[in-house]
Structures are given as C-alpha cells and as structure tokens.
C-alpha cells in the first residue's frame, strides 16, 4: 500500500515505469516456449527487448525509497543474457528457424565466410546475366532458380532462335525455354554448397542461443514476477488517482466502516455523478445486516461493493469510499445469483444449499459472508425456516461479518432476538402507482418488495400485471403471515440440522365422522381394485380420493 501511495504521488517516476512497460512482452509465455524448445528467433528478440527494459524500470522503482528497493532486490536484471541476445540475433528475424537470416553479422566468423561466398556467388550470377545478354543480344534473358532445377538461363520463346550453341536446354515452358551452361553449373554447386552449410550452421547457432536462454529460465521467471508486480502496483496508482479513490486503513478490532462507498465497476457504467453512495458500519456489536427492500433497488450491488472494496484494500489498492476502515478478512464467501449444475444432477436450489453449506462450515469469525435471497427456491415456509436457521447459526456459531438480503420481511423481527443483527433496507418511494428506486440504504426494515412493479418495468403484458395486483390484494387480505419461530432455548453445542423446518402451532381440524355405509363402499372399492395394473400416478390418485372421503 505504501508503494502504491508513492507511485501515486511521484508522477514522473510512474510515467517512466509506464513507458518502459510498453516494450515488455508476456515474459511468462516466452519463457514457457523456451522451456519447451519451440521458441523462434523473433520471440527471442521480444524476450531481449523485454529484458532491456528491466534496468530502467528498476531504476525508477528504486527512487521511490526503501519500499521500492525491497521489491527490486527480489530479482536479477539478466543483463548478460540481454547483451548476448542483442549480439547474436538480428533486429527483425524471420519466423522460420530453418531458412537462415537470424544471426547477426559478426557473431560467428565461419558463418560470415559462408555468407560472403553466397553473396559473391549472387554477384557473379548478376554479372553473368548481364554478360550473356550482351553477347547473345537476347534482351529477355534472365537467370532464375528453383529447388527442382537449380539455377537456369530463361529465354522467351520469341527469341529462342538467338540462343548460342553452348546453351544446353534444361526445360521447355509454354512461353519460354530454360538453359544451362557449364560455367553456370559449376557456380551453382559452389553457391548451393555455401548456402546449405550456412543454413545448417546458422540453425546450430540458434539452438545454442536457445539453450543458453533456457539455462536462465529461473532468473527470467523471477524477474517476470517482479515486473508484473510493479505493473499491477502502478495500475493501482493510476486508477486510484483517476477515480479519486481513498487509501484504506486496517483495524485490529474487526471494525468495518465505509463512508460513501461505491461499486467501482457499476459506477463507471452510468453517467458521472448518478451513482448513489452508501455507508456500511459493522463492529463487535453489529456483526450482521439483514437487508430488505424492493427488487431492482440495489441490495446485491450494496453487498458486492463491500466484498470488492475489501478485496481491493487487501491487495494494496485504494478504494471507492470517502473513508474506509476494514478488518483483514481471511476469506470471503458469497451466495449471490442463481445457477444450476444439471450435468451433476443439481438443481438451482441444491446448488444454493451446497454453496451455503460450504460457507457455514468453512467461515470463521474473521471471514466475510454475503448471502443473497437464501431459500427462494422452495416453498415459502421452507425457505423462511431455512433462512432463519442459517441466520441464527451464523449469529451464534460463526460470528462472521455477514450481509444477508431477503424478501422474507417476517425475518426482520429477528433484530429483537439476535444481539448483533440489525435491519437495514434499500429505500424506494411509490408515486402515482409507480415505484421510484432511490438506491439509498437506511436503517430499519422494508415491508414491500414491489415485484409487480419490476414486472411492469420488464414490459410484461398489462393483463398479467393487473391480474397479479388483484391476486396480491386477495392473498394479503385472506392469508395470515406465518410467524417467525422464536427460540425458547439456546442453540445446542452440537452441529445443528439446518434444513429442519421449525415446528409451528397448527390448528388441528376435527375429522368428519365416516358412516358405516361409506366405509363399506371404500372396502368394496379396495377389494375390486386391480393393484398390479395400476400406474404409480393412478395409485396416488386413488389414495388421495379415499383420504378425502375419510375426512
């Protein structure tokens, strides 16, 4: 964090580092190709250019003080290897390693001799072409080469009558004839011999260079690690300055205090100034927040920004807050969004339970837990029972900093039972039958979810949303709210069974008396029933019918 602060303040050194990093290639990828022996000369030149930037990067970082020097001392500069590659390879080598043209002139004496012989041979061929054209008066005469026939003299068909007697026909084409001379054959052997030796020697030299580089892999990897670390830190400094982030501080008393915190990604996707910042306060007497509020109001965003800010702080970056005090979390557990794993036979709800189980069993009091809408994949009472049991377990056993969002407004009464749980809600206002999301988190509970309003925003047919509103009014007036189960005794020390629905007092219905005649009819039906030819569904239907009659 201190080095990020210095990079943020020392703009000149940061710019020097950025300029040098522009010429650093993916060192890890290049080292991998060296290790496997499939690196080409062009990639070794990229490695060389990267290594040549290291001294200027280290020099700029060292100027930042003791923190900078502590980073650069972790790696060697590999300057000897960079010089070796500079002396050995041309600046723009070909991709192929078999056709030559990779090794710099002056690097190897024998290779230079072969090259000179090859170049002299080409000069001789150029002179021969000019001489033969003058002697024979064949203006279209030219010397060519291919891998099958070697070097040849080519004459157009219209001037073939001017060909001298010492020309030997080599090949006939549609519009030209190709010839050789004893002198051309002799020079061809010399040129091709020199070229073959040159290519073989150049490839051998390239292999030696590659092996020399391979011997330095460990040092290059360590240097790559340090350079990438510096790159990340200067990136932190740039984004912290450009986005006006705040330097966080860490507390030892597990206090989390974020003032005007923002989601760093969502903030840049909306017009400047439109993002609504929110405070988050958690401490020893306030470990959990039960978050209620409408759909689309920003509950998930509020939860995620706490996690992202915590991660940013712990990796050394400034954070999008006016003030940030954070504990050091050992882990962050999340259950946000909906997903399934059908290949493994797990439904959306099962995946939700598995992820929740992992958080409950792995989290410590130094962890951060984010649980979003737990229990929504099952019946209302099942889901509410699970949600309450999970909240109680975290409160009593885990005691991790926890953000728990829900649409089960009945759970908000837990604030009165659980000492370190507080209710907060995302503010929304209803105007002329439309909901306005304020995205502001305030203390207290919400009593509505505005799901039908969200359906309207999604442009569901009006007939559907109007009918839904009618049904909602009916449900709210006719169906009593299931009470939240109050705990009558402390949570036992042994592991709780989280998936057991709390027993609720139910009004027992008195069964209707069944007459003897009805019993006789049922007995007769049972005796006449062909059980072996019933499908499972038909059997269930029969059982349901008899049960209804007995009631």
pLDDT for the residue numbered 187: 80
Higher-pLDDT residue of 71, 182: 71
How far is the CA of 247 from the CAs of 281, 302, 432, 470, in angstroms?
A: 17, 20, 44, 52
How far is the CA of 540 from the CAs of 207, 521, 524, in angstroms?
A: 78, 19, 18
Higher-pLDDT residue of 350, 260: 260
How far apart are the C-alpha atoms of 395 and 421, rounded to whole Å?
A: 8
- Check whether 505 has a pLDDT greater than 90: no
CA torsion through residues 103, 106, 110, 115, sign: positive
Nearest to 82 by CA among 229, 205, 209, 225: 209
- Check whether 358 has a pLDDT greater than 60: yes
Is residue 442 within 8 Å of 292, Cβ to Cβ?
A: no
pLDDT for the residue numbered 182: 85
| Sheet-wide strand order for 249-250 | 249-250, 323-326, 256-261, 278-282
Q: CB under 8 Å to 4, separation ≥6 — which residues?
A: 233, 236, 237, 240, 316, 317, 318
b/e code 192-202 from CB counts within 10 Å (16+ = b)? eebbebbbebb
Higher-pLDDT residue of 31, 147: 31
How far apart are the C-alpha atoms of 172 and 161, rounded to whole Å?
A: 14
Tokens of 516: 């003897």
pLDDT for the residue numbered 349: 86
Domain 2-78+216-242, what architecture?
Answer: Orthogonal Bundle (1.10)
Confidence of residue 497 (pLDDT cuts 50, 70, 90): very low
Q: What is the mean pLDDT of the chain?
A: 87
Tokens of 110: 């024998």
Is residue 29 within 8 Å of 47, Cβ to Cβ?
A: no
- Check whether 272 has a pLDDT greater than 90: no
pLDDT for the residue numbered 279: 96
Tell me what the mean pLDDT of segment 48-56 comes to. Answer: 96
Same fold, 2-78+216-242 and 117-196: yes
Domain boundaries, the chain: 2-78+216-242, 117-196, 249-478, 516-550
pLDDT for the residue numbered 484: 66
Compute, in degrees rounded to 10, the torsion defined by CA atoms 451, 457, 463, 465.
10
pLDDT for the residue numbered 500: 43
Tell me what the mean pLDDT of segment 99-124 comes to. Answer: 86
4-13, 88-97, 126-135, 322-331 — which is least confidently predicted?
A: 126-135
pLDDT for the residue numbered 313: 96
How far apart are the C-alpha atoms of 279 and 403, rounded to whole Å?
A: 13
Q: What backbone phi and psi angles, to 5 degrees, belong to 261?
A: -75, 150
Roughly what angle, to the nearest 10 degrees, separates helices 41-62 and 182-214?
40
pLDDT for the residue numbered 495: 43
How far apart are the C-alpha atoms of 147 and 546, rounded to whole Å?
A: 94
pLDDT for the residue numbered 102: 94
Nearest to 374 by CA among 396, 395, 345, 348: 348
Confidence of residue 486 (pLDDT cuts 50, 70, 90): low
DSSP secondary structure of 211-248:
HHHHTTHHHHHHHHHHHHHHHHHHHHHHHHHHTT-B--
* Spacing of C-alpha 81 from chain mean position: 34
CATH annotation of 249-478? 3.40.50.300
Domain 117-196, what architecture?
Answer: Orthogonal Bundle (1.10)
Tokens of 67: 């923190």
Confidence of residue 82 (pLDDT cuts 50, 70, 90): very high
How far apart are the C-alpha atoms of 153 and 145, rounded to whole Å?
A: 9
Place of tokens 């949570």: 491
DSSP assigned state of 130? H
17-26, 327-336, 375-384, 505-514 — which is least confidently predicted?
A: 505-514
DSSP secondary structure of 35-83:
HHT---HHHHHHHHHHHHHHHHHHHHHHTT-HHHHHHHTTS---HHHHH
The β-bridge relationship of strands 323-326 and 249-250 is: parallel
Confidence of residue 493 (pLDDT cuts 50, 70, 90): low
Q: What are the pLDDT digits (tens) for 397-422? A: 999 999 999 988 889 999 999 999 99
3-state secondary structure 466-519: HHHHHHHHHHHHHCCCCCCCCCCCCCCCCCCCCCCCCCCCCCCCCCCCCCHHHH
């Amino acid at each position: 964090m201190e080095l990020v602060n210095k990079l943020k303040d020392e703009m000149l050194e940061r710019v020097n580092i950025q300029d040098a990093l522009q010429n650093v290639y993916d060192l890890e990828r290049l080292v991998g190709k060296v290790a496997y022996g499939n690196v080409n000369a062009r990639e070794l030149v990229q490695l060389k250019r990267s290594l040549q930037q290291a001294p200027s990067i280290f020099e700029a970082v060292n100027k930042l003080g003791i923190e900078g020097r502590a980073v650069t001392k972790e790696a060697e500069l590999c300057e000897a290897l960079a010089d070796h590659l500079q002396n050995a390879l041309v600046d723009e080598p070909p991709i192929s390693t078999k056709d030559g043209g990779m090794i710099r002139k002056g690097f190897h004496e024998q290779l230079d001799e072969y090259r000179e012989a090859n170049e002299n041979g080409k000069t001789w061929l150029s002179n021969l072409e000019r001489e033969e054209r003058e002697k024979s008066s064949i203006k279209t005469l030219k010397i060519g080469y291919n891998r099958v026939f070697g070097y040849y003299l080519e004459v157009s068909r219209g001037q073939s009558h001017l060909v001298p007697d010492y020309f030997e026909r080599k090949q006939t084409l549609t519009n030209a004839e190709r010839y050789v001379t004893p002198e051309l054959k002799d020079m061809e052997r010399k040129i091709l011999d020199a070229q073959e030796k040159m290519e073989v020697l150049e490839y051998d030299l390239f292999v030696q260079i590659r092996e020399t580089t391979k011997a330095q892999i460990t040092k290059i990897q360590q240097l790559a690690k340090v350079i990438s670390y510096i790159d990340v830190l200067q990136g932190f400094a740039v984004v912290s300055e450009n986005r006006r982030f705040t330097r966080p501080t860490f507390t030892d008393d597990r206090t989390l205090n974020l003032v005007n915190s923002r989601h760093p990604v969502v903030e840049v996707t909306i017009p400047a100034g439109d993002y609504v910042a929110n405070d988050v306060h958690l401490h020893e007497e306030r470990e959990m927040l039960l978050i209620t509020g409408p759909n689309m109001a920003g509950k998930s965003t509020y939860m995620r920004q706490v996690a992202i800010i915590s991660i940013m702080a712990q990796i050394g970056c400034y954070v999008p807050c006016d003030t940030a005090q954070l504990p050091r979390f050992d882990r962050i557990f999340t259950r946000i969004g909906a997903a399934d794993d059908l290949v493994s036979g797990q439904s959306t709800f099962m995946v939700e339970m598995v992820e929740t189980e992992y958080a409950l069993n792995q989290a410590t009091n130094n962890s951060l837990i984010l649980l979003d809408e737990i229990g929504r994949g099952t019946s209302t009472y099942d889901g509410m029972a699970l949600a309450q049991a999970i909240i109680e377990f975290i409160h009593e056993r885990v005691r991790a900093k926890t953000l728990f969002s829900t649409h089960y407004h009945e759970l908000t009464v837990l604030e009165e039972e659980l000492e370190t749980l507080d209710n907060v809600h995302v503010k929304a206002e209803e105007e002329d039958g439309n909901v306005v999301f304020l995205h502001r988190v305030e203390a207290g509970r919400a009593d509505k979810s505005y799901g039908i309003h969200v359906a309207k925003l999604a442009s569901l047919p009006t007939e559907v949303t109007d009918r839904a509103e009618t049904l909602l009014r009916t449900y709210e007036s006719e169906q009593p709210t299931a009470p939240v189960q109050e705990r009558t005794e402390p949570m036992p020390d042994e592991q709780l069974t989280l998936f057991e629905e709390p027993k609720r007092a139910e009004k027992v219905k008195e069964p209707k008396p069944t007459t003897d005649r009805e019993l006789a009819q049922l007995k007769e039906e049972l005796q006449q029933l062909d059980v072996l030819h019933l499908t499972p569904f038909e059997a269930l239907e029969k059982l349901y019918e008899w049960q209804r009659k007995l009631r």
